[in-house]
Amino acid sequence: METGRRRVTRALIELTAIKQRVAALQSDVTHQQADVAALRSRVGEFASAQYRSDGMDTTVQLLLASQPDDFLARMSTVASLTERQSAPAPRSGRSKRCLPRSRPPAQRSRPG
């Protein structure tokens, strides 16, 4: 009878150690998955930048351009278009945030 109790006690101690090890490994996996997700994001940003610049840095493109003045004019146009495209987004965001406050109280409480 005493031997059976010792075996059960040993098994429970071993089970506890195994559970702790599994928890530590699961934590490691979670951290590694977060690291992989961050790396994927950085690679995506890099790939997007490379795609937008045809795979070459803007300075290199300028140095290799047969007509640098034309290249600079195109880059200026692209920059201004990009600026114009991104400008309305914050304003519409502000408008959407202010919209619920500007509604009359009866409409604010109505769903939909």
Element (H, E) at 96: helix 88-102
Co-location of 47 and 18 in the same domain: yes
Answer yes or no: is 109 within a domain.
Answer: no
Co-location of 48 and 75 in the same domain: no
Co-location of 4 and 48 in the same domain: yes
Answer yes or no: is 68 within a domain.
Answer: yes
pLDDT at residue 112 in the model: 46
Regions of the chain short of the pLDDT cut 70: 1, 53-55, 85-112
What burial class does residue 107 get, using C-beta atoms within 10 Å of its C-beta: 0-12 exposed, 13-18 middle, 19+ buried? exposed
Answer yes or no: is 75 within a domain.
Answer: yes
Domain that holds residue 63: 56-99
* Cα separation values, 59 from 68, 75, 106, Å: 11, 11, 58
pLDDT at residue 22 in the model: 97
pLDDT at residue 62 in the model: 74
Answer yes or no: is 83 within a domain.
Answer: yes
Q: Report the alpha-carbon distance of residue 30 to residue 25 in Å, rounded.
A: 9
pTM of structure: 0.41
Co-location of 45 and 71 in the same domain: no
Q: Would you call 74 helix, strand, or coil by DSSP?
A: helix
pLDDT at residue 107 in the model: 46
